[in-house]
Amino acid sequence: ENDDALVEKYLLEEPIDNDELRAALRRATIANRVQPVLVGSALKNRGVQLLLDAVVDYLPSPLDIPPIEGVDPRTGRLVVRHASDNEPLSALVFKIITDPFVGRLAFFRVYSGVLKAGSSVQNTSKGKKERIGRVVRMFADRREDVEEVHAGDIAATLGLKDTFTGETLSDAHAPILLESITFPEPVIS
């Protein structure tokens, strides 16, 4: 229903190739016209691989979505950053957890640029410098130390002193303030 070429093939009773169907579903999903629904059970490991394959097949990559917009904190003007390693760094911290073995972990997504272990970045939300210690890629049962993460990657870092959930990390020479995470008000007190 969302792809005229496939509707025409269907009406003419021509065979529809799986790749054509997958591509049409991807376009419709990215345009937010359909929402694929999959079932499974992680407990019994049923459908987990199919779910991961569907994420790759149907959900947008960082290159499929519009560039991120933020505000230059010095001028107040709108700044646009594309999902590219050649752009200045912009990352958003979306979760902080305390790990009993390594301490405070700050999870972040890199929207543009490259974040390297041992580098200095600016917490644009507070105007303070932070030093990036270890950068780790998290898995369900282990961590993997990495030297750098690129645009579109999600990772975690250890030892950020003044950075919390919803704050922006950026290049000190090209600061950007991304939209912060807003938490809904509780309905029960």
Asked if 137 contacts 155 with a C-beta cutoff of 8 angstroms, the reply is: yes
pLDDT tens readout for residues 86-100? 999 999 999 999 888
pLDDT tens readout for residues 110-147? 999 999 999 999 999 999 999 998 999 988 778 899 99
What are the C-alpha distances in Å from 50 to residues 17, 23, 27, 37, 100?
Answer: 19, 17, 19, 11, 33
pLDDT cut 70: percent of the chain above it: 100
Asked if 151 contacts 84 with a C-beta cutoff of 8 angstroms, the reply is: yes
Mean pLDDT of the chain: 90
> What's the confidence (pLDDT) of residue 153?
92
Whole-model pTM: value is 0.77
> What's the confidence (pLDDT) of residue 78?
94
- φ, ψ (nearest 5 deg) of residue 136: -125, 140
